[in-house]
């Protein structure tokens, strides 16, 4: 009976009727991408400087990683710093650029023990040397791991990624290696930084903002979207499980009929 009404009752009512939504072991999204937003507002709410929010957000990264791994998710992409975030005050940018090494100093051994493979996408060019060094070390030390792929989007912007991918294809055309007619969707996907990863099945954004902010524009064409008002430092295992449970109740139609 409850199942018949699942499509029109809200999550609150559903929870009252059947307890908190629990994801099933089947139909787990292969790739979850998260726009980790709201660190600054979370700190402000507590009367603290914005950087306290970023610091606390690191713990949420750990929680999300463990929860995703536990569910059997294959790829977790986390939007950590956008190409537009450079426009923030220098002190905040400097603080954010120190977080990867701080996070990895604390967590790398455990990530290795959990067979997690760390990857990074974004523009490496303007990153400080200390940030790059930490990311490179993590990538190198986990490259042969076969478990969850933890992919950090750092200094990442989807439009820039597309421009670079298209330039590379154009060079192949110029050099006569391929013809313009050979360009297809697979070729464009392969020239993006997400490379061999499948497109995200589920895109999560925290903090109540309902926008994409230049994140994976090409890859999210058919992703399911899930938003929560929770600020990123508040994001818990339960949030991820709730998002996955909701994902599992949806019907992906890709323009067809079901």
Residues that bind ligand IPE (CB under 6 A): 35-41, 79-82, 85, 96, 207, 209, 211, 213, 232
φ and ψ at residue 7, rounded to 5 degrees: -75, -20
Q: Which of 27, 26, 22, 54 is nearest to 38 (CA)?
A: 54
53 vs 16, 42, 81, CA distance in Å?
32, 6, 14
Under rule CB under 5 A, residue 69 binds Mg ion = no
User: Applying CB under 5 A, which part among 30-38, 97-105, 119-127, 158-166 lies near Mg ion?
Assistant: 30-38
Closer CB to ligand IPE, 37 or 161, in the complex: 37
Number of other residues whose CB lies within 10 A of the CB of residue 254: 7
The answer to the question of whether 31 is labelled as a binding residue is: no
> Which of the following is catalytic: 3, 27, 37, 155?
37
The entry of Mg ion, ligand IPE, none near residue 224 (CB within 5 to 8 angstroms by kind) is none
- Indicate which single residue of 32, 36, 37, 64 sits in contact with Mg ion (rule: CB under 5 A): 37
Axis crossing angle, helix 90-113 with helix 129-142, rounded to the nearest 10: 20
The answer to the question of whether 38 is labelled as a binding residue is: yes
The answer to the question of whether 88 is labelled as a binding residue is: yes
Is residue 144 annotated as a catalytic residue, yes or no?
Answer: no
Q: Nearest distance from residue 88's CB to ligand IPE, in Å? A: 8
The C-alpha atoms of residue 127 and residue 96 are separated, in whole angstroms, by: 11
The answer to the question of whether 82 is labelled as a binding residue is: yes
The answer to the question of whether 74 is labelled as a binding residue is: no
> Which of the following is catalytic: 27, 85, 145, 214?
85
Position of tokens 């949030």? 239
Closer CB to ligand IPE, 39 or 131, in the complex: 39
Q: Nearest distance from residue 144's CB to ligand IPE, in Å? A: 28
Is residue 69 annotated as a catalytic residue, yes or no?
Answer: no
Q: Nearest distance from residue 14's CB to ligand IPE, in Å? A: 29
Q: Nearest distance from residue 70's CB to ligand IPE, in Å? A: 23
Which residues are marked as active site? 37, 85
């Amino acid at each position: 009976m409850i199942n018949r009404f699942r499509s029109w009752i809200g999550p609150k009512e559903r929870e009252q009727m059947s307890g908190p939504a629990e994801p099933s072991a089947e139909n787990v999204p292969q790739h979850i991408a998260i726009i980790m937003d709201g660190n600054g507002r979370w700190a402000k709410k507590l009367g603290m400087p914005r950087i306290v929010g970023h610091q606390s957000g690191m713990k949420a990264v750990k929680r999300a990683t463990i929860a995703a791994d536990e569910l059997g998710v294959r790829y977790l992409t986390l939007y950590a710093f956008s190409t537009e975030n450079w426009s923030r005050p220098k002190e905040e940018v400097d603080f954010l650029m120190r977080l990867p090494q701080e996070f990895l100093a604390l967590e790398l051994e455990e990530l290795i023990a959990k067979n997690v493979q760390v990857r990074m996408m974004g523009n490496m060019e303007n990153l400080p040397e200390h940030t790059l060094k930490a990311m490179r070390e993590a990538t190198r030390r986990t490259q042969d791991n076969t478990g969850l792929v933890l992919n950090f989007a750092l200094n990442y912007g989807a439009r820039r990624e597309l421009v670079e991918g298209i330039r590379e294809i154009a060079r192949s055309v110029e050099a006569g290696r391929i013809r313009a007619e050979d360009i297809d969707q697979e070729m464009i996907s392969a020239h993006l930084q997400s490379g061999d990863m499948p497109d995200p099945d589920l895109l999560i954004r925290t903090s109540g903002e309902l926008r994409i902010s230049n994140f994976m524009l090409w890859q999210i064409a058919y992703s399911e979207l899930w938003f929560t008002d929770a600020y990123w430092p508040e994001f818990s295992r339960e949030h991820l499980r709730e998002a996955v449970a909701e994902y599992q109740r949806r019907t992906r139609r890709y323009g067809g009929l079901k």
